[in-house]
Structure 1
Amino acid sequence: MAAQVKYDDVEVGTELPAQTYHVDRANLVMYAGASGDFNPIHWRESVAKAVGLPDVIAHGMYTMAQGGRYVTDWVGDPGAVVSYGVRFSAPVVVPDEGGADIEISGKVEEKRDDNQVVVALTARSAGAKVLTRAKAVVRLA
């Protein structure tokens, strides 16, 4: 686990290092098993295309989870996340060959009492913003 980020070491505007998370069809099948969401648009290309999607897409909650992972990797303590929310703005399209990447960056937007900071996240895949209003409140050491 990474060293814990300290409240006194961040300021409003502090940028978190960007990270890229790769996703392939195997990740989606494993996530379907863990979540119980077996909607075939997440693993079967013919069904995804039949409903007007360009290809198989990642589960929205899988995409959201990568943002949560990003924040917990940065802070070094999964228990430090006080709240986290997003809106889904575009799907993560996951082609059979090569999969897809989700690029996530963040910035400290606000410092609050009780060692809490608000981190605004940006998540993109294939040039499209896939999460909007993505914010995590984190209690730092």
Structure 2
Amino acid sequence: MTANRPVLEDLTVGDVVGARTLELDRPRLVRYAGASGDFNRIHWDEAFATGVGLPDVIVHGMLTMGASVGVVEDWAGDPGAVVDYQARFTRPVPVPADGAAVVEVTATVGALDAEARTARVDLTVTHDGARVLGKAQAVVRL
């Protein structure tokens, strides 16, 4: 165990334990599509995406979800300490042709379980002020 790991007894519900700004551009979407095998055209073909009613090409939901939990992994000091993670996709994140979509992530202690020695960390994940993940929660074993 490293000295940087959080200690359950030092935590209080409501503590903000991390924040991060994610910048997601189209080249990253292409790299993610290659790594994940998700080549759905809504993630790379602007004409197709707008043709099906989306505002633009959109970020893969799993990319948003996976990148967002990184703030919890960093705080925990060990990605393996995250024993559960779930979220609901509430809004798409459109990505402009030039530049990047900016996603803000804030991690807050939502609950503590002294018997299980876990902390539930609630993530607030927004783009342009609107939540893009709902009920995003990670359980961390401490």
Q: Please give the range of the TM-score, normalised by the shorter of the 2 chains.
A: over 0.9
Contact 2:121 2:137 in 1 (8 A): yes
- Residue of structure 1 equivalent to 2:20: 19
Q: Which amino acid aligns with 2:119?
A: V
Q: What is the rounded CA distance, in whole Å, between the counterparts of 1:43 and 1:4 in structure 2? A: 39
Q: Would the aligned equivalents of 1:119 and 1:136 in 2 still touch at CA under 8 Å? A: yes
State the distance in 2 between where 1:2 and 1:76 align.
9
| Runs of 4+ in structure 1 over 6 Å off | none
Structure 2 residue 51 is matched with structure 1 residue 64: no
Shift of 1:2: 9.2
State how far apart, in whole Å, the 2-side matches of 1:58 and 1:107 are.
24
Q: Which runs of 5+ in 2 are unaligned?
A: none
Amino acid at match of 1:30: R
Report the counterpart of residue 141 of structure 2 in structure 1: 139
TM-score by length of 1: 0.94
Question: Alignment identity in percent?
Answer: 50
Helix, strand or coil at the partner of 1:118: strand
Structure 1 residue ranges without an equivalent (≥5) = none
Q: Is the 8 A contact 2:18 2:72 kept in 1?
A: no
Paired residue secondary structure (2:69)? helix
Measure, in 1, the Cα distance between the counterparts of 2:92 and 2:17. Answer: 24
Counterpart code for 2:26: R
> Counterparts in 2 of 1:2-41, with a 5 A limit?
3-41=4-42
Change (3 A) 1:5 1:21: same
Match of 2:119 in 1: 117
Q: Distance in 2 between matches of 1:51 and 1:26?
A: 22
Q: For 1:129, give the aligned amino acid.
A: R
Q: How far does the alpha carbon of each residue in 1:73-106 deviate from its partner, in whole angstroms, 9 at most, with x for none?
A: 1211100001000000001111111111110002
Could you state the TM-score of these two structures normalised by the residue count of structure 2?
0.93
Q: In the alignment, what sits opposite 1:45?
A: 46
Deviation at 1:17, TM superposition (A): 2.8
Checking the alignment, whether the CA contact within 8 Å between 2:117 and 2:141 is kept in structure 1 is yes
Q: Aligned-residue CA RMSD in angstroms?
A: 1.5
Name the residue aligned to 2:80: 79
Structure 2 CA distance for partners of 1:2 and 1:53, relative to 1, 3 Å: farther
